[in-house]
Amino acid sequence: MNIPRLNFAHLPTPIEEMPRLSEALGGPRLLIKRDDQTGLAFGGNKTRKLEFLVAEAREQGAKTLISGGALQSNHCRQTAAAAARFGFDCILVLSGEMPEHASANLMLDQMFGAEIVTVADREYRDQTLQETFDNAVAEGKKPYLVPYGGSSPTGALGYAFAMDEFMKQNSHADWIVFGTSSGGTHAGLVLGQRVFGYKGKVLGISIDESEEWLKSHVSKLASDASEKMGERIEFTPADVMATADYCGAGYGVLTDAEREAVKLFAKYEGLLLDPVYTGRAAAGMIDLIRKGFFKKDETVLFWHTGGQPALFADKYANKI
């Protein structure tokens, strides 16, 4: 296997027990894998994906990284940091109104020197991203398009190898639970589960997509990523476990469930979640615990995917 990769993530990330949270919930044994500690500008799941994406950009002779997302995108913050670290220019196409004062992720994007293009309506983001890319090509900027959330087959490899890392840590878990949105983390874990022989279950809690879309998208992404590891494995939607029971409020809308999850992790374990992704994923896991979905003698591992800078975004800070 000769897959281009830049090794800059702080790996392996620790796995910790959450005994006080488990007791407070009357639930199963709870573990947490700290991918909020992967390094690269406050860490998060994109670090693992960017190890492969930035290496691919380099191989292709790119000079500019272009990506897109929401105004408070964690993915864009980490892409901008990777660009700064490895000497690329960076252009970010962000949906939302540019505020008078940039806070949190958006402020960090600017610190890393990214050029920011805003598009008021998310509906037109794809189009603006494509135009931005085409213009960069025409201007000789040699752009590499980092897909939304870093979720291409190349990016998904980060989480296939994360599963290998987890298996080598010899930490038993019957369930791996995490937030899923653009599907790269999910696809990588599903692929890694097959390749490295993880016997437990991998359950993605949807942040904003339907279960049907996730199952079909993640299985395709996992199949395509498998080719990069040497041999194509054909995954079907039935190979993907996902629930969309916790995303009804819409992307980035804080409800009592996310608020409670953020507070419980903080109060019982001194751990910080983010309002948009890990807060929602944890809220889903907490509800499943309360419903008795997991057996008492099982171990559930919550895979923390980062995102905490968003806690300090003007948009969320006073709502937590």
Ligand X SMILES: Cc1ncc(COP(=O)(O)O)c(C=O)c1O
Locus of tokens 């309360």: 290
Nearer to ligand X, 153 or 184 (CB): 184
d(CA 129, CA 118): 10
Q: Please state, in angstroms and rounded to a whole number, the distance separating the CA atoms of residues 130 and 319.
A: 34
* 180 lines the binding site for ligand X (CB under 6 A): yes
Given candidates 143, 278, 283, 299, which one binds ligand X under the rule CB under 6 A? 278
Identify whether the C-beta of residue 284 lies closer than 8 Å to the C-beta of residue 83: no
Which uninterrupted H or E stretch holds 192? helix 184-196
Is 307 a binding residue for ligand X by CB under 6 A? The answer is yes
Residue closer to ligand X, measured from CB, 183 or 192: 183
DSSP 66-110: EEEEETT-HHHHHHHHHHHHHT-EEEEEEESPPPSS--HHHHHHH
* Span near ligand X by CB under 6 A; candidates 5-13, 20-28, 176-184, 230-238: 176-184
The site map against ligand X for 140-159 (x = CB under 6 A) is ---------x-x--------
| 67 is known as an active-site residue | no
Smallest CA-to-CA distance from 15 within 228, 153, 167 is with 167
- Biggest alpha carbon–alpha carbon distance for the chain: 60
Determine, following the binding rule CB under 6 A, whether residue 181 of this chain makes contact with ligand X.
yes
Give yes or no for residue 305 binding ligand X (CB under 6 A): yes
Check residue 68 for interaction with ligand X (CB under 6 A). Answer: no
Which of 223/278 has CB closer to ligand X? 278
Q: For tokens 């889903």, name the residue.
A: 284
Is 44 near ligand X (CB under 6 A)? yes
Binding positions for ligand X, rule: CB under 6 A: 44-45, 74-75, 149, 151, 179-186, 274, 277-278, 305-307
Q: Catalytic residue numbers? A: 73
